[in-house]
Amino acid sequence: MAQAPARAASVVRLFDAHCHLQDPRVLAVAPSLIRAATAAGVARFAVNGTSEKDWHLVKQMAEEYPSVVPCFGLHPWWVPERSPDWMDSLRRFFAETPEAAVGEIGLDKGSHGKTIDFGEQVEVFQQQLELAKELNKPVSVHCVRAFGDLLEILKRTGPFPAGVLLHSYLGSAEMVSSLENLGCYFSLSGFLTGMKSTKAKKMLKSMPLDRILLETDAPDALPKLDDISLLAVPVDRSSADNGESKKDSNSQASTTSNESLNHPSNIHIVMKYVASLLEISEIELAEVTYKNATKLFSYHGSKVHNEVEAV
C-alpha cells in the first residue's frame, strides 16, 4: 500500500529534487529505497524519466507513491533513439499525468554526449523548453560542458516563470547571476564532492540561498568523500539468482555493481557537505532547500501544490 509522505521523527525533512528510481539498475529495489529514505526524512522524490522507454515506469511509480513527483523528458543521450512521434507521446503523458513536471532534458558535450549530433540535441532541447513554457511547468535540465550554449538558448527561449532546475550544477560562479535572472535554480548532488573544494565553495557562495536545491541523482552521483558512511543499495536477489543484469540501453552508468550505486538516503551526505561549504547549519540548509523545492514543484496540478503555503 502506498504511504503518504511524512516527516520522520527526530530528523530533518528533505526533498530529493532529482533522481531516477525507475532506472533498471534499481527498479526492483525501488520500494525499499523509498521506504528507507522516507524513514531518514526524505519526504519527496522528483523522479525523472529519460526516454520513451521509461516514462511509463515513472508514471506507475508516481501512482503508487504519493511522495514521488513524476517528470517526463527526453535526455540528450537518447535523442538518437527517439521515435518519429516522440513529442506526441510526451504530450500524451502530460495530458494523462497533470502532476508531472518536465525532465530530464538538456545538452551534453561530454565523453558520451559528443558522440551525439549537437544540432539534434539543441533541436530536441528547445522543443521541450517550449513545451515546459506552454504547460507552465518547471523543467529539470542536464548540462555537461555546454553552459555557454545553454545560457544562449535559455536567453533566446526564456524567461521561465515556472522555473528551471539545473540538476547537478557544476557550472562557474560567474554564470550564476545570469542563469538566476532567467528563472534558474541550482540543484546540488554528490558530483559536487568531485570538484575542488575551493572552487565549489566559490560557486556555492555565488548562489542566492533561495535558489539552492539538494538532490541525489540516484542511482548515480555517489558522493566521494573520505570518512563518510554511505548507505548501500540492496542487492536484487531475484535478478541475481536468475543471472540477470540490470544494465541495458536505458541505463546511464557503465557498471551494475551495487557498490557504485547511489541510495536516495545519501542526500544527507550532500546536505552536510553543502552546509559546511556555505558555513550554515545543516538544519537551516535542509529547511531552506525543502522550501525552495516545494515552491518550484508547486505548479498547478502538482502533488505539492497545496503544501507550499504550509512550508
**What's the full length of the chain, in residues?**
311
How does pLDDT run across 224-254, given as a tens digit for each residue?
998 888 999 998 765 444 333 333 334 343 3
| Residue corresponding to grid cell 541523482 | 217
Q: Which residues pair with 214 in a beta bridge?
A: 188
Residue 305 marked in a binding site = no
| Residue corresponding to grid cell 518536465 | 102
What is the domain class of 14-233+261-297 according to CATH? Answer: alpha beta
Q: Domain spans of the chain?
A: 14-233+261-297
How does pLDDT run across 104-154, given as a tens digit for each residue?
999 999 999 999 999 999 999 999 999 999 999 999 999 999 999 999 999
Is it the case that residue 89 has pLDDT exceeding 60? Answer: yes
User: At 18, is the secondary structure helix, strand, or coil?
Assistant: strand
With bands split at pLDDT 50, 70 and 90, how would you rate the model's confidence at 4?
very low
Which pLDDT does position 280 carry in this prediction? 98
Task: Check: pTM over 0.85? Answer yes or no.
Answer: yes
Which pLDDT does position 238 carry in this prediction? 59
Closest CA to 137 of 107, 103, 166, 86: 103
CB 19 within 8 A of CB 217: yes
Residue 20 marked in a binding site = yes
Question: Is the backbone of residue 196 left (phi > 0), alpha (psi -120 to 50) or beta?
Answer: beta
CA angle 229, 230, 234 (to 5 degrees): 135
Which pLDDT does position 235 carry in this prediction? 82
Residue 300 marked in a binding site = no
pLDDT, the chain, mean: 91
Three cell numbers written together for 55: 516514462
Three cell numbers written together for 97: 499525468
Residue 217 marked in a binding site = yes
Which pLDDT does position 33 carry in this prediction? 98
Residue 142 marked in a binding site = yes
